[in-house]
Amino acid sequence: KEKRRGRGRYGGQKCGRGHKGERQRGNRPRLGFEGGQTPFYLAIPKYGFNDGHSRRRQYQPLSLQRLQYLIDLGRVDPTQPIDLTQLTNARGVTVQPLKRDYGVQLVEEGADIFSAKVNIEVQRASELAIATIEKNGGVVTTSFYDPRSLEILCKPVLFFLRGQPIPKRMLPPEDLVRYYTDARNRGYLADPSKVAEARLELAKKYGYVLPDITKDELFKMLSTRKDPRQIFFGLAPGWIVNMADKKVLKPTDERLLKYYSS
Amino acid sequence: MAAHTLGGLCRPRLGFLAARFSQRAAAGTEYRSAYSLDKLYPPRQDGDAAASAPEETQPAALDIPLARLTVSYCRSSGPGGQHVNKVNTKAEVRFHLASADWIPEDVRQKMASMHRNKINRAGELIVNSEESRYQMRNLAICLEKIRTMVTEATEQPKVVSKETTQKLIERVEKMNRERLRQKKIHSNIKQSRKADFD
């Protein structure tokens, strides 16, 4: 049986507003009001769950599925070391350094379908993500970028147009030093021999045979790593890149050289 | 960039991985700061004795030979929509228990009796896991379960020596004697406060 409808644009007669009262007259109280009783959102006491939330470090997640998607489409080149600059140029991730983003973190989503041999450098990585990449013969490194270096890393061309020398990357703050010197997180400040041991341990734990990357033809590329004070591969701190004349200017004064290599 | 020489640490186990950093780049072509890895962790020239001593102290996790295990994946059960319907996330690990040389003989027998319900007619111990969303993690959980089984079967019942049992009994008796002594003293105090009619 068809529903009896009033005529008119909004349904007609009462127009779905009900009969008299605040409902029909459009004067209902604000959201959360409970007629005078202390509302739920005021009755519950505060606790510091969200204290300093706007000052916390954030890391943009990068799933292995997304990484595989980018490699398959050809937006990211697996034959070169993958860096935040490469990911940003490929528009794979969007990092906002001004919104307390400190970089990118590797996430396990897509661990079962990942099959690419890459040398990747992120800021954080979970254990399963590290295991997946190493199982496929790749290399993971976690490194720290302070906000200024991060902005330069994400938008290199804009920085070069400023005409300033490349600054040196700062070392991590106290609470992160422990994270980046730990071989289990593949920190960039960790002992390489301990990193080798940690790779074996992970292989035993996750039950795969660790492929020997020394026998790989891309071994040289896979083992390239940045120096802790370096921001770009191939460019040292202190150099100025001139985009207009396509030249790179390097300092010669020994005080400057001493400062930039400290 | 990385060119950390580990030439001195040529342990046979890690040799093939230590060689990962054994390239020495031509000095001057690469940038090296004060915090580069060579300066933080200079390659040690001393003998392996100092290097190998801290290794042995930590108990190594049981080495499970993956070639001897049969691993198969299938779909997990339970709720989860399209993902659980389509993706093979349940991991099952089987191995023939009686012929597993990597477990000591007596431990094998203990395991056969403890986990009777997990061994099939062909004599294979079956361990499966579908707790995680990821195949790799489920496999890791299976291996961890096998390791726990072996550890449980290895542990021996605690043997308390005669001297220790005697000591414990003596301690209990001494505690009781002291308690009764204190009780008598307290009783005497209370008695002495009593005023008799005599």
- pLDDT score of B75: 87
Distance from CA of A186 to the nearest CA of B (A): 13
Query: What percent of chain B is modeled with pLDDT above 90?
Result: 39
What string of DSSP letters covers B66-112? GGGSEEEEEPPPSS-HHHHHHS--EEEEEEESTT-TTS-HHHHHHHH
- For residues A134 and A74, what is the distance between their CA atoms, to the nearest angstrom? 21
Other CB atoms within 10 Å distance of the CB of residue A31:
7
- pLDDT score of B4: 45
- pLDDT score of B47: 55
Sign, CA dihedral B30-B32-B37-B41, equals: positive
Do residue A111 and residue B136 have CB atoms under 8 angstroms apart? yes
- For residues A160 and A165, what is the distance between their CA atoms, to the nearest angstrom? 8
Buried b (16+ CB within 10 A) or exposed e, B94-132: bbebeebeebeeebbebbbeebeebbeeeeebebbbbeb
Do residue A261 and residue B23 have CB atoms under 8 angstroms apart? no
* Backbone region of residue B144 per phi and psi (left: phi > 0; alpha: psi in -120 to 50; beta: other values): alpha
Suggest the residue from B22, B35, B89, B94 to mutate for an interface test with chain A (most A CBs closer than 10 A).
Answer: B35
- pLDDT score of A173: 95
- For residues A61 and A67, what is the distance between their CA atoms, to the nearest angstrom? 11
Given a contact cutoff of 8 angstroms between Cβ atoms, the answer to whether B95 and B89 are in contact is no
- pLDDT score of B44: 81
Nearest in space to A228 (alpha carbons), one of A185, A177, A194:
A177
- Predicted ipTM of the assembly: 0.82
- For residues B112 and B195, what is the distance between their CA atoms, to the nearest angstrom? 75
For residue A189, the chain B residues in CB contact (below 8 A) are 35, 37, 40
Average pLDDT over all residues of chain B: 80
Q: What's the predicted TM-score (pTM) here?
A: 0.79
3 state DSSP class of B26: coil
Other CB atoms within 10 Å distance of the CB of residue B154:
14
- pLDDT score of B160: 84
- pLDDT score of B9: 35
pLDDT tens across B139-196, in order?
999 999 999 999 999 988 888 888 889 999 999 999 999 999 999 999 999 999 988 8
User: Shortest CB distance from A192 goes to which of B21, B23, B88?
Assistant: B21
Do residue B134 and residue A226 have CB atoms under 8 angstroms apart? no
Tokens describing residue B131: 């707790």
pLDDT tops 60 at residue B8: no
Sign, CA dihedral B115-B116-B117-B122, equals: positive
Length of chain A: 262
**Least CA distance to A260: which residue of chain B?**
B33
Do residue A128 and residue B134 have CB atoms under 8 angstroms apart? yes
3 state DSSP class of B159: coil
Task: Spell out which chain A residues touch chain B, with contact meaning CB-CB distance below 8 angstroms.
Answer: 108, 111-112, 128, 131-132, 135, 168, 171, 189, 191-193, 196-197, 199-201, 204-209, 212-214, 219-220, 223-230, 233, 236-237, 260-262
Model confidence at B52, pLDDT cuts 50, 70, 90, reads low
- pLDDT score of A178: 94
Contact B48/A at CB under 8 A: no
Contact B38/A at CB under 8 A: no
Query: What percent of chain B is modeled with pLDDT above 70?
Result: 78
pLDDT tops 70 at residue B51: no
**Least CA distance to A257: which residue of chain B?**
B33
**Least CA distance to B37: which residue of chain A?**
A189
- For residues A57 and A41, what is the distance between their CA atoms, to the nearest angstrom? 28
Do residue A226 and residue B1 have CB atoms under 8 angstroms apart? yes
Mean pLDDT of each 10-residue bin along chain A, 262 residues long: 72 83 90 95 95 94 95 94 94 94 93 92 95 94 95 94 94 95 94 94 92 89 91 92 93 94 88
Sign, CA dihedral A86-A89-A94-A95, equals: positive
Residues forming a β-bridge with B72: B92
